[in-house]
Structure 1
């Protein structure tokens, strides 16, 4: 290969700019054709992506079958018109579904984490891989494995939560589900783990801000999910934008070379995030110019650049000037080509238009999305058994709030345009339940997510006054401007105008000072509450909400996060008891933003209270209510004493003591009583989600050995220290039974 061809393999331009779609025809652009002929392109990013950022709309975008045809045309041209005939790597966004027109939109990862259902998530990942590969996509930029420490961060919704163990279990499921038995399979795609590393611990919760973290915490917490995913065989990884201790992750040789490749044995591809190399010279300011930034990132271990702009502009010039490490260039090109061989692209680089048309957005996948949305919703409050509602007794229902009938507001960020009626809102879900009684469900938007407009209050109050039960659907929005127009707050009617209202208060780059409801939503709820009707609050949002007034006064609170395209049906199922809430929090919800950080696995020395209030969250990690009651009994440890390389079996009996079938999340925590270096007060080290019929008892077993007891000790090496450990098992991080386990040093050690 020539130097230009090697550099070309490292360049990934924006795929949606490689073609024009007009009058049902796909034509490749002249600029793309010229780049192929020069050998200057090795991959494409977001060829099938559609959203306001790309500018691809329902009108200009591609149907599932057309998407496969477009990829095939692109691949065919690249193979037939380049000297070496190397196929392109087609990379797509798949955080909660393939981000292409028609792709199934699953709940965001925060919902998936809250489901605690690893098997169901693995099944979802298989479905997403099938949809993506059918269109010719071969690699996905997911899962997001960031550990959230400040939920004011706009990308909280993209994460599984605040606990590294749970995130690690989800990470393994994503690798197994997406990559399948073989990367070369027609229903598998390569995962890209992101964002490596510390991205969820940025200063002030500001996107891509500096991370202030000790090396021991980095090894124990933020690196843990990535290590688990690499051990599971992850094929690609993406460094984060942020810096740690003054070194941006994009050029951090200790992270990219020493740990990732050297210690963990990672043999896949390393790709930057979009614009990350440019940040080195214009943001982090550790490089004089773009050429130095490009050369340094390549030498540090980067193999491919998303967008390809800096590599494309500077690597060949750096080589001509003798400023490019040619061994690093060979390494990067080799890794990219190796991934293409592993994916079987040299044998089969094409999509399957027929299969794409049949598979993408299928009924089977919609059912899976609905189940995940139901299992990931968390019942936070249920005063006086306000839920479930009874169709015979609930009377007329008023569905009120800015998220009651806004489809895009329940999908989250990284979402493609949706045709009318495809997303089931909460209003649509309840209307479907009472399809034969149209007068049973009333609707008023009341207000928008953001802004001070109260002109919808009178109509909302008038509507609520006619009802017996009020369901307030409030929260946040990660919807970018899809040009959908706006809503007439005075009537609830859609207004298709040239001026659409952007309600976005969450999502990438949308970080907040507060965790309160935006705009005048709380004021609307307070006015509705004065009517004295049963008040059910449903949160649809991408980060925790801290509203003490609602916590105190609502009859019931259901946290649905962004539940995806079938969320409205799932929420209706939960409100009426067709599904029993089984979601449990994977992120602590504070009483006040001033408590942050408030994650459950903090150090013992962090203090107990502030002047104004204690430091405990409003709703702790692992918490969630059900329509039944679960009882824990007979916690036992198989042996009271083990060696540092031994193991014990922990068992507990869990009984459904209520009258409804349900699923309980049994959680195992470990607490080291004394250690050479400070430890968290407790850490999650196991969980099981089990189904129980009324009156049924199941015995749940956990293995406790070195993996559960070790930590990063002297010289930053993993060690199991002799001493006493508390074994804690229960239904949340604060409601547990307790037993003891003593670890002794083996003779001769």
Structure 2
């Protein structure tokens, strides 16, 4: 059997294997059932495959399994019923062994897992969410995070991850904003490239790398009204210039898999779009991996999009368009055979999809190394190095929005602090969606972090939750105000929650203790499928801040949340505001590091924060023709893209471009001198924006085209240089071609999208000699 000969080229092995397969076996390779339903865990921790899985193997096999190691309320896998790092590795080995021994050809299974901000398995490291990661503007740090996620996942048998999310945030009311890096396609593209390096590495057949899956293809973040999976109204030119750019960069960097989006674009569902999945992705971009659907996406063609009359038409539309594997596997398993019999698809269509899946399995080395080492899994998952890395990412992703009168950093001695708020000591509220169940000792809350800084026995820390995220109960106000009255400074930890019901009960607002009741309270107001009409704090949170503020003491608000918060009263009245997004398991330590000045904040916003939800959209790369101001307010955000304060000051001088006239294919250098004029060391994110002064199509008023995060000691000066070339100057013209047009470009270098110094570059027209 040539396909078992590792010395042969992959194409020959695939061809030999496909030639031996029955139609049922081919269809089996294109389905991905729910993996957590394939095993039973005994009381002694041993695992055996289920009868349902055995039946699947008898029907033609299973090509892939989704979420064998995933644990959360959706899967109903808990800390008690789930798998430890060692047990998880053993379980995938047991499942893999059964599949290979009880199938005619012994084709290994591809295990796919969720890893948006950490391997979604019990015991794995919970890193900050991508929105926090984006705020670091630190590509090297993110690559290290991806490497850690890859090794934790692969050590347990997971060979594919359904990340990174490369959606461009257009409307932050969308509940999946937290899963995205930014509102800017260039910045997302840079993170996309680093994700490919960190997750996939130099080779896929390693025990430390996994296959990345780009999602959601395409324009999923541009839905109508910020509602999940709603229609997208966008022309092809804008689609190419904005939403497709990060995907193109990732494909060029070697991405192995792409996931289709639920939405439609101008009436065409992404899951059956031949243009997106074949013409563009494969023929124009040269993508050589395989395409997988999101969960249940093909059903939507019949029930939702209604572009197919029945299941046979739906699977035929998807397969012919370029969908190779179906997550859930329900539609392909049930209808592909009948579609083949009815002539809606041909055997060659089936073979093409199977070929793409098998090629990836060979590239991943699954035929030669189908099993993993449980001891290695136990060593690397949740290890100390990864815990420290999670803290570093959180430290660099936390953004200081306001610091009136240098309220921060706080002194560690001689100051009594009141730590108040629903997110001060709630472990799941600071972790974000797509998080596994957590033992309490693994998560450091803000209260934990502050107490560790000042000492548990120091008497300097008072705590009260005050209120919940949602709901109108004020029964905790009295205790919160009593704590605040005794304190010198009040730290109020407010915001949102993407925590699903992990069975942890609710919080007694009077004591702050966790209470298990028959009527548990769910504070979830963000996350997948949780979209909002507003961006204000929910419940009575604002009222609590206002009551505490009446005491006349310094008030610091720490936001822990998954989308921007628009609360003008807080922006105006409190002394300092810290935006942490969902900072992960080490978030409490990282926030305390910032509050007490052990770490100088260096996070910068990657989404604009509006004054009011009625201003939306407020993304900085708006068109010049966006219209006039509203009657009630202007169009400027409360905090612009790129904004973030430091405990030191930076001065920008001598911005210049050399040369200032180039041809369309030439390169110029933009330079700026940055000086740390303060008394402490700090990191600054130097940002380059470009404006095309006049063009054949309307363009954004300004676009990010470069950035550098630099660290400067007090008084230190550094010259930062940015290359400016075709990639940074090109536009997508009316024919969907990428071109550099002659004319003037304004180059702006500064600390954010509203604070910069400019110089000019001219692109000269090149005369073509005939």
Name the TM tier (shorter chain).
over 0.9
Secondary structure at the aligned position of 1:516 is classed as coil
Matched, 1:414 2:434: yes
Equivalent of residue 252 in structure 1, options 259, 273, 279: 273
Equivalent of residue 557 in structure 1, options 574, 577, 581: 577
Q: Could you tell me which residue of structure 1 aligns to residue 667 of structure 2?
A: 647
Matched, 1:185 2:202: no
Secondary structure at the aligned position of 1:183 is classed as coil
Comparing 57-66 with 426-435, which one deviates more in the overlay?
Answer: 426-435
Q: Could you tell me which residue of structure 2 aligns to residue 47 of structure 1?
A: 68
How far the C-alpha of 1:31 sits from its partner, in A, is 1.1
Q: Could you tell me which residue of structure 1 aligns to residue 217 of structure 2?
A: 196
Matched, 1:134 2:155: yes
For residues 720 and 172 of structure 2, the distance between their equivalents in structure 1, rounded to whole angstroms, comes to: 32
Q: Could you tell me which residue of structure 2 aligns to residue 402 of structure 1?
A: 422
How far the C-alpha of 1:494 sits from its partner, in A, is 1.4
Q: Could you tell me which residue of structure 1 aligns to residue 515 of structure 2?
A: 495
Q: Could you tell me which residue of structure 2 aligns to residue 464 of structure 1?
A: 484
Secondary structure at the aligned position of 1:79 is classed as helix
Say if 1:295 and 1:325, in contact at 8 Å, map to a contact too: no
Say if 2:46 and 2:87, in contact at 8 Å, map to a contact too: no
Q: Could you tell me which residue of structure 2 aligns to residue 372 of structure 1?
A: 393
Say if 1:114 and 1:584, in contact at 8 Å, map to a contact too: yes
For residues 314 and 472 of structure 2, the distance between their equivalents in structure 1, rounded to whole angstroms, comes to: 45
Say if 1:182 and 1:188, in contact at 8 Å, map to a contact too: yes
Secondary structure at the aligned position of 1:91 is classed as strand
Q: Could you tell me which residue of structure 2 aligns to residue 171 of structure 1?
A: 192
Equivalent of residue 360 in structure 1, options 378, 381, 384: 381
Comparing 729-738 with 569-578, which one deviates more in the overlay?
Answer: 729-738
For residues 153 and 714 of structure 1, the distance between their equivalents in structure 2, rounded to whole angstroms, comes to: 30
Q: CA offsets per residue over residues 122-143 of structure 1, 9 Å max, x none?
A: 0000000000000000000000
For residues 659 and 13 of structure 1, the distance between their equivalents in structure 2, rounded to whole angstroms, comes to: 58
Secondary structure at the aligned position of 1:53 is classed as coil
Matched, 1:86 2:104: no
Q: Could you tell me which residue of structure 2 aligns to residue 660 of structure 1?
A: 680
For residues 518 and 373 of structure 2, the distance between their equivalents in structure 1, rounded to whole angstroms, comes to: 38
Say if 1:130 and 1:188, in contact at 8 Å, map to a contact too: yes
Say if 2:61 and 2:103, in contact at 8 Å, map to a contact too: no
For residues 499 and 181 of structure 1, the distance between their equivalents in structure 2, rounded to whole angstroms, comes to: 51
**Equivalent residues in 2 for 1:195-234 (5 A)?**
195-234=216-255
**Equivalent residues in 2 for 1:181-580 (5 A)?**
181-393=202-414, 395-435=415-455, 437-580=457-600
Secondary structure at the aligned position of 2:752 is classed as coil
CA-based RMSD: 0.8
Say if 1:637 and 1:648, in contact at 8 Å, map to a contact too: yes
For residues 654 and 327 of structure 1, the distance between their equivalents in structure 2, rounded to whole angstroms, comes to: 60
Matched, 1:3 2:23: yes
Q: Which runs of 4+ in 1 moved over 3 A?
A: none
For residues 660 and 22 of structure 1, the distance between their equivalents in structure 2, rounded to whole angstroms, comes to: 57
Say if 1:145 and 1:225, in contact at 8 Å, map to a contact too: yes
For residues 567 and 33 of structure 2, the distance between their equivalents in structure 1, rounded to whole angstroms, comes to: 44
Secondary structure at the aligned position of 1:632 is classed as strand
Q: For the structure 1 residues 415 and 436, does the alpha-carbon distance in structure 2 shift closer, same or farther, using more than 3 Å as the test? A: closer
For residues 641 and 660 of structure 1, the distance between their equivalents in structure 2, rounded to whole angstroms, comes to: 39
Say if 2:237 and 2:734, in contact at 8 Å, map to a contact too: no
Say if 2:427 and 2:440, in contact at 8 Å, map to a contact too: no
Q: CA offsets per residue over residues 287-335 of structure 1, 9 Å max, x none?
A: 1012211111011100000010111111112223333232211110000
How far the C-alpha of 1:234 sits from its partner, in A, is 0.3
Q: For the structure 1 residues 50 and 436, does the alpha-carbon distance in structure 2 shift closer, same or farther, using more than 3 Å as the test? A: closer
Say if 1:37 and 1:83, in contact at 8 Å, map to a contact too: no
How far the C-alpha of 1:437 sits from its partner, in A, is 3.4
Secondary structure at the aligned position of 1:278 is classed as helix
Say if 1:378 and 1:585, in contact at 8 Å, map to a contact too: yes
Q: Could you tell me which residue of structure 1 aligns to residue 742 of structure 2?
A: 722
For residues 149 and 515 of structure 1, the distance between their equivalents in structure 2, rounded to whole angstroms, comes to: 14
Matched, 1:159 2:180: yes
Q: Could you tell me which residue of structure 2 aligns to residue 109 of structure 1?
A: 130
Q: Could you tell me which residue of structure 2 aligns to residue 687 of structure 1?
A: 707
Say if 1:710 and 1:721, in contact at 8 Å, map to a contact too: yes
Secondary structure at the aligned position of 1:172 is classed as helix
For residues 761 and 688 of structure 2, the distance between their equivalents in structure 1, rounded to whole angstroms, comes to: 14
For residues 628 and 463 of structure 2, the distance between their equivalents in structure 1, rounded to whole angstroms, comes to: 44
Structure 1 unmatched runs, 5+: none
How far the C-alpha of 1:614 sits from its partner, in A, is 0.3
Say if 2:69 and 2:83, in contact at 8 Å, map to a contact too: yes
For residues 228 and 606 of structure 2, the distance between their equivalents in structure 1, rounded to whole angstroms, comes to: 21
Comparing 640-649 with 544-553, which one deviates more in the overlay?
Answer: 640-649
Say if 1:142 and 1:191, in contact at 8 Å, map to a contact too: yes
Q: Could you tell me which residue of structure 1 aligns to residue 646 of structure 2?
A: 626
Equivalent of residue 761 in structure 2, options 733, 741, 745: 741
Q: Could you tell me which residue of structure 1 aligns to residue 10 of structure 2?
A: none
**Equivalent residues in 2 for 1:29-68 (5 A)?**
29-68=50-89
Q: Could you tell me which residue of structure 2 aligns to residue 696 of structure 1?
A: 716
For residues 515 and 542 of structure 2, the distance between their equivalents in structure 1, rounded to whole angstroms, comes to: 25
Say if 1:299 and 1:325, in contact at 8 Å, map to a contact too: no
**Equivalent residues in 2 for 1:599-638 (5 A)?**
599-638=619-658
- TM-score w.r.t. length of structure 2: 0.96
For residues 329 and 691 of structure 1, the distance between their equivalents in structure 2, rounded to whole angstroms, comes to: 54
- TM-score w.r.t. length of structure 1: 0.99
Q: Could you tell me which residue of structure 2 aligns to residue 147 of structure 1?
A: 168
Structure 2 unmatched runs, 5+: 1-20
Q: For the structure 1 residues 198 and 436, does the alpha-carbon distance in structure 2 shift closer, same or farther, using more than 3 Å as the test? A: closer
Secondary structure at the aligned position of 1:254 is classed as helix
For residues 323 and 604 of structure 1, the distance between their equivalents in structure 2, rounded to whole angstroms, comes to: 48
For residues 31 and 76 of structure 2, the distance between their equivalents in structure 1, rounded to whole angstroms, comes to: 22
Secondary structure at the aligned position of 1:120 is classed as helix
For residues 650 and 346 of structure 2, the distance between their equivalents in structure 1, rounded to whole angstroms, comes to: 62
How far the C-alpha of 1:436 sits from its partner, in A, is 5.2
For residues 423 and 377 of structure 1, the distance between their equivalents in structure 2, rounded to whole angstroms, comes to: 17
Say if 1:483 and 1:498, in contact at 8 Å, map to a contact too: no
Q: CA offsets per residue over residues 562-599 of structure 1, 9 Å max, x none?
A: 00000000000000000001000000000000000010
For residues 219 and 322 of structure 1, the distance between their equivalents in structure 2, rounded to whole angstroms, comes to: 34
Say if 1:373 and 1:563, in contact at 8 Å, map to a contact too: yes
Q: CA offsets per residue over residues 574-629 of structure 1, 9 Å max, x none?
A: 00000001000000000000000010001001024100000100000001000000
